[in-house]
Amino acid sequence: MLIPLLIEYEKAHIAERQTLPERYLGLSDEEMDHRIAAARATLGAKLVILGHHYQRDEVIRFADYIGDSYKLAGQVSKHPGAAFIVFCGVHFMAESADVLSGAHQQVILPDLAAGCSMADMAAPDQLEQCWADLAQMAGGSKIIPVTYINSAASIKAFCGEHGGVVCTSSNAAATLKWAWERGDKIVFLPDQHLGRNTAYKMGVPLDEMALWDPNEIWGGLEPDAVKNARIILWKGHCSVHARFTVRQIEQIRANHPGVRVIVHPEVPWDVVQAADDAGSTEYIIKTVAESPVGSTWAVGTEVHLVNRLALQMQPDRTVMSIDPFGCLCSTMFRVSPNHLLWVLEGLVDGDVHNRIVVPDAQKHWTKVALDRMLAIS
């Protein structure tokens, strides 16, 4: 039995849990399940609920679609008749859904405190300064901006306007290939680990990568480092995936001879090298599910996904977390069944709570960047 450990990121990024009306507190699981199901039935085809893999079980059971960011982004356009898209995930996911949805559709995030520490590590003014600095440091090279989907709409809009694109862990390699076909260099943000691991797997040596620190003058780099780099990595990371270590893998191999280790590419480079395989959440699920009966797997990603996969694979395969304490994302964890019930019953009553709206000034270029992502195989 894995023991969940709440991983809180830097104090500056911690959001307070959204206060609910008193009548939505202290409800039993049975009552919430019954009322959520009743609200869903009342709303019918007007409602689509999207659930990211990292959601808690008592929330994700109500999702019409479960997946990673890329898979869920693709579901939005498939329901033009839905008036409401309730996204059980975090803020940047709901923003993307709003950009990709129709003008008649409203996107709702059950808890506004559900954010992403990684997305918070790249601010628009920092990117503007980085872009201006790189123009002077890169010696005339054409640079293509690529942002991981775990970023704010403002960052995605910048990339769209400057010839760039959004990527997910599922299509990161295809996206980098697309970008290098159009420019000499890539600036990749906000997750340095996904960028480094993907580029390295594509054959780019580490000495052709540079790390840009947005809190340092000139990113903490000399001009020659930028000129020699094929990819400039933003100094950001996932607070959960950065906790996985080579030592954990060594320990789990010692305790479970024959175990296969698979990790998400948001983990540090040395952890990927120590693992047997790496890939997106969807890739991890597919790889484990298609492995021979009797296989034992140690997985390096968020604990809700690992626990759910372990239950699904029983008794034919054994699945465990690399981290014995089980890392969960405290911000992904924010959406509770209480919040889901509150927004659904609000919709039944004609009240829209927590609508996510991307400003018109950002929406066009954000959609350009997302459409480019969806067009890349």
- Structural domain includes residue 69: yes
Going by pLDDT thresholds of 50, 70 and 90, the confidence category of residue 126 is very high
Residue 352 lies in a domain: yes
Q: Are residues 216 and 257 in the same domain?
A: no
**Residue 362 domain-assigned (yes or no):** no
The predicted structure's pLDDT at residue 77: 82
More confidently predicted of 325 and 20 = 20
Structural domain includes residue 303: yes
**369: in domain:** no
Element (DSSP H or E) covering residue 34:
helix 29-43
CATH for 58: 3.40.50.10800
Contacts (Cβ under 8 Å, ≥6 apart) of 82: 45, 46, 47, 48, 105
20 and 69, same domain (yes or no): yes
pLDDT of residue 17: 60
pLDDT (0 to 100) of residue 375 = 92
57 token code pair: 């079980």
Give percent above pLDDT 90 in the chain.
75
For the chain, how many structural domains are there in total? 3
Does 189 map to a domain?
yes
Q: Are residues 49 and 131 in the same domain?
A: no
135 burial type by CB count under 10 A (0-12 exposed, 13-18 middle, 19+ buried): exposed
**pLDDT tens digits for 154-163?**
999 999 999 9
**Average confidence (pLDDT) over 1-10:** 31
- Going from the C-alpha of 359 to that of each of 76, 89, 95, 364, the distances in angstroms are 19, 20, 10, 9
Q: Specify if 59 maps to a domain.
A: yes
CA dihedral for 307, 313, 315, 317, sign (positive or negative): negative
User: Do both 251 and 227 map to the same domain?
Assistant: no
Contact 269, 214 (CB under 8 A): no
Determine the pLDDT at residue 157. Answer: 96
Query: What's the confidence (pLDDT) of residue 329?
Result: 61
- Residue 145's CATH number: 3.40.50
- What average pLDDT score do residues 78-88 get? 93
Same domain, 124 and 21: no
Q: What is the pLDDT of residue 229?
A: 97
Which domain, by its residues, includes 78?
A: 5-113+333-357
Helix (H, G, I), strand (E, B) or coil at 37: helix
Residue 282: inside a domain: yes
233 and 145 in a common domain: yes
